[in-house]
A = this chain, B = another copy of it.
Amino acid sequence: MTERPQQLAHLENLGDATRFAGQIYLLIPKCPLLENFTPTEVNLLSHFMEVYRAADNMEIIREGDGGDFMLIVIQGRIEVRKRDRYNTPQLIATVEPGHTLGEMSMIDGEPRYATCVAMEPALVAVLDRESLARIILEQPLLGAKILMELVLMLSQRLRATSNRLMELLDAQGQNSAGVL
């Protein structure tokens, strides 16, 4: 990683993720992104990630911010909150080790969709867009694998979200145009 994301400057940087490769590998059964990864691939990937420690109650990602990185939760519980129309943060998910956060902004560069707060001391492995670009150039098959898993995860989330929206519109007798 050539330059550290400034949005992570308040967290403690623990260096590249190679030291944590074994710990990350153990997360695979709980990590959709890595579900098809071999130990060798996890090890390779860990060279392109950096690990950060967040103290209890610390914001790791803030809704509306810029930021072109995603992260894998290695340790700790993290709450995901999004502001409603009254600007009140609403809990939309609590995630555990193995979960990934921030994929959408890493890829599309749009502002963060929600805020992520550590609910206990947490460790996260960070992959930014530049490192992903380097993986694609230097390790194209690993790059394709990561991208394929991202497409899969987003596709499944989009199905679930679209179904939920469709049901709500349906129940309200509303038009479903544009559900997908």
Give the B-binding residues of A (Cβ under 8 A). 80, 82, 84-85, 90-93, 103-104, 107-108, 110, 113-114, 136-137, 140-141, 143-144, 147-148, 150-152, 154-159, 161-162, 164-170, 172, 175-180
In the complex, what's the smallest C-beta–C-beta distance from A143 to chain B, in angstroms? 5
Chain B residues near A84 (CB, 8 Å)? 166, 170, 176
Chain B residues near A168 (CB, 8 Å)? 165, 168-169, 172
In the complex, what's the smallest C-beta–C-beta distance from A122 to chain B, in angstroms? 19
In the complex, what's the smallest C-beta–C-beta distance from A67 to chain B, in angstroms? 14
Tell me whether B141 and A92 are in contact (CB under 8 A).
Answer: no
| A161 to B179 CA separation, bound complex (whole angstroms) | 7
Chain B residues near A107 (CB, 8 Å)? 148, 151-152, 155
Chain B residues near A158 (CB, 8 Å)? 104, 154, 157-158, 161
